[in-house]
Amino acid sequence: MPVTTQHPDYTAHEREWAVMRDALEGEDAVKAKGIVYLPKTAGQECVERQEGQAAAHFYQAYLRRAKYPRWVADAVRSMMGLVSRLEPEARMPPRMAYLEEAATADGFGITDLFLRVVREILTTVRIAIVASVDDRGQAYAALYRAEDAINWKEAITSGRRDLTLAVLREARASEDEDEFGHKTETVYRVLDLDEGRYRKRLLSDSGQVLEEVFPSTRGVGIQYLPVIFAGSTDNNPDVDEVPLLTMAQSALKSYQLSADYFEALHKTAHPQAWVTSQEDVRIGTTGPGTLWQAGEGAEFGYLEIAGTGIEATRTAMQDERNAALEAGARVVDAGSQTESGDARRARQDDQHASLHSIVKMAEKAVNQFIEYAKDLTNTTGDHTFSVVPDFSAVDVLPQLAQQLLNSAMAGYTSPEAYWEYLRTGKVPDRDYSTERLHVDNPGGVDDEAA
């Protein structure tokens, strides 16, 4: 089979990913797809069959009046706002300290890698991370969107299910393109195990091998594929459910309803004028300040629609909005302004359950990348990358804040403890002796002494 062969799961979910991408890009992207998201009415199809392209403007007007809501983009932005306020704890082995500032192929740090993984999981529930090593011997993460990880295979080895093939689509500058052009050609990065050794190949559309290498570490071939498929519930190659797909579907349904709604409003506000006369009628334009001339006995009037379905359409649009809000309640619903702090925290913890799992899966994916990077670069030493998915609002008690300030001014606790409480709503979790070190040496405590 050709290198362009797609995994059945890929084919089954490709349209869902396209819907999510368009939903995030907004109204222009949705309208550019035309009848994919907004089918023509029976009347529009009928008149186009009779009059051809001359009648295409009826659908174009229908399309322009429709309104696509930005619920998905707003939800993702709100979720990423919550996640970006989290503070990952990142500590690399000394030889890999560069990862804190340059962990991705385009030079962004390990925290940015984490945020990218979270965003892609929210969008399409999937991202492939490939651990690689550059010409300087430094590890980096190459990222591939769900749409670009087109095929994969697994096999049972020693009782475990291991990845044995990953086909990743790439776009690279065309060789015949000038310096200011943007023409690209599609190639395929094929990662597999050849007689138990990790092999990387670059193939053209036709299957021609453009590059082939066998990465090694310590002079020994690698016996696994350093690829992670990050998802919302686990990090195996299986495709999970898209978290915000229900919201996107509600937004599309609201978009379709809005086309009918605004079309009906337009026709209600612009009734069709009519005239009957046995003589010639001079008709210029309609509207205020215009004059029609007809012979004696002529009759004039307007054909107006009753608009009985307008309210039902508006109600249906509201129902879709409510369904979308329910699907994204963890970030859209602000909750009651009168609920207690404990009740609000309990509600928020429940609302953020899915976002909690996404953050933890992204954290695990980043940790797995670091493990692969250590192995590929023959690096030893412990590392830390951890994220506490606490999305609760910061509650600062004025009385406790004042007591901490008084204690810090008196030299019993550190100014750092006071500031940490104001910033996070939590007193630093450390014993008395460690706190005394912070008091005696504010801002410069020796970790080994602590």
Residues 221 and 159 in one domain: yes
- Residue 151 confidence (pLDDT): 97
Residues 399 and 386 in one domain: no
Residue 197 lies in a domain: yes
- Residue 231 confidence (pLDDT): 92
Residue 80 lies in a domain: yes
Q: Which domain holds residue 203?
A: 1-26+68-244+328-393
Mean pLDDT of the 81-92 span: 90
Integer Cα distance of 152 and 155 in angstroms: 11
- Residue 410 confidence (pLDDT): 82
- Residue 338 confidence (pLDDT): 43
Residue 340 lies in a domain: yes
Total domain count for the chain?
A: 3
Integer Cα distance of 34 and 255 in angstroms: 12
Q: How confident is the model at residue 393 (pLDDT cuts 50, 70, 90)?
A: low
- Residue 337 confidence (pLDDT): 41
Choice among 226-240, 331-345, 368-382, 404-418 with the minimum mean pLDDT: 331-345
Q: Could you tell me the pTM of the whole model? A: 0.77
Residues 92 and 155 in one domain: yes
Q: Is the pLDDT of residue 60 over 70?
A: yes
In percent, the amount of the chain with pLDDT more than 90 equals 46
Q: Is the pLDDT of residue 351 over 50?
A: no
Which residues face 359 on adjacent strands? none
Residues 196 and 123 in one domain: yes
Buried b (16+ CB within 10 A) or exposed e, 168-181: bbeeeeeeeeeeee
Q: How confident is the model at residue 329 (pLDDT cuts 50, 70, 90)?
A: low
Q: Is the pLDDT of residue 35 over 70?
A: yes
Tokens 């035309």 sit on residue = 34
Residues 157 and 233 in one domain: yes
Residues 230 and 367 in one domain: yes
Mean pLDDT of the 366-381 span: 95
**Within 13 Å of residue 414, how many CA atoms lie on the same side as its CB?**
24
Residues 185 and 251 in one domain: no
Given 327, 356, 377, the domain boundary residue is: 327
Residues 85 and 141 in one domain: yes
- Residue 82 confidence (pLDDT): 85
Residues 252 and 203 in one domain: no
Residue 4 lies in a domain: yes
Residues 92 and 207 in one domain: yes
Q: How confident is the model at residue 282 (pLDDT cuts 50, 70, 90)?
A: low
Q: How confident is the model at residue 137 (pLDDT cuts 50, 70, 90)?
A: very high
- Residue 79 confidence (pLDDT): 86
Contact 134, 374 (CB under 8 A): no
SS3 per residue for the chain: CCCCCCCHHHHHHHHHHHHHHHHHHCHHHHHHCHHHCCCCCHHHHHHHHHHHHHHHHHHHHHHHHCCCCCHHHHHHHHHHHHHHCCCCEEECCHHHHHHHCCCECCCCCHHHHHHHHHHHHHHHCCEEEEEEECCCCCEEEEEEEHHHEEEEEEEEECCEEEEEEEEEEEEEECCCCCCCCCCEEEEEEEEEEECCEEEEEEECCCCCEEEEECCEECCEECCCCCEEEECCCCCCCCCCCCCCHHHHHHHHHHHHHHHHHHHHHHHHHCCEEEEECCCCCECCCCCCCCCCECCCCCEEEEECCCCCCHHHHHHHHHHHHHHHHHHCHHHHCCCCCCCCHHHHHHHHHHHCHHHHHHHHHHHHHHHHHHHHHHHHCCCCCCCEEECCCCCCCCCCCHHHHHHHHHHHHHCCCCHHHHHHHHHHCCCCCCCHHHHHHHHHCCCCCCCCCC
Count Cβ atoms within 10 A of the Cβ of residue 418 and give its class: 0-12 exposed, 13-18 middle, 19 or more buried: buried
Residue 148 lies in a domain: yes
Q: How confident is the model at residue 194 (pLDDT cuts 50, 70, 90)?
A: very high
Choice among 32-41, 143-152, 252-261, 310-319 with the minimum mean pLDDT: 310-319
Mean pLDDT of the 221-237 span: 92
Integer Cα distance of 26 and 71 in angstroms: 9
Q: How confident is the model at residue 225 (pLDDT cuts 50, 70, 90)?
A: very high
- Residue 110 confidence (pLDDT): 96
- Residue 217 confidence (pLDDT): 86
Q: Which of 438 and 384 is assigned the larger pLDDT?
A: 384
Residue 377 lies in a domain: yes
Residue 34 lies in a domain: no
Between the CA of residue 378 and those of 138, 162, 192, what are the distances in Å? Answer: 11, 22, 21
Residues 249 and 234 in one domain: no
Q: Is the pLDDT of residue 199 over 70?
A: yes
Given 350, 374, 393, the domain boundary residue is: 393
Contact 359, 84 (CB under 8 A): no
- Residue 306 confidence (pLDDT): 67
Mean of pLDDT over the chain: 84
Residue 31 lies in a domain: no
Given 344, 365, 393, the domain boundary residue is: 393
Mean pLDDT of the 369-382 span: 94
- Residue 150 confidence (pLDDT): 97
Residues 370 and 414 in one domain: no
Q: How confident is the model at residue 116 (pLDDT cuts 50, 70, 90)?
A: very high
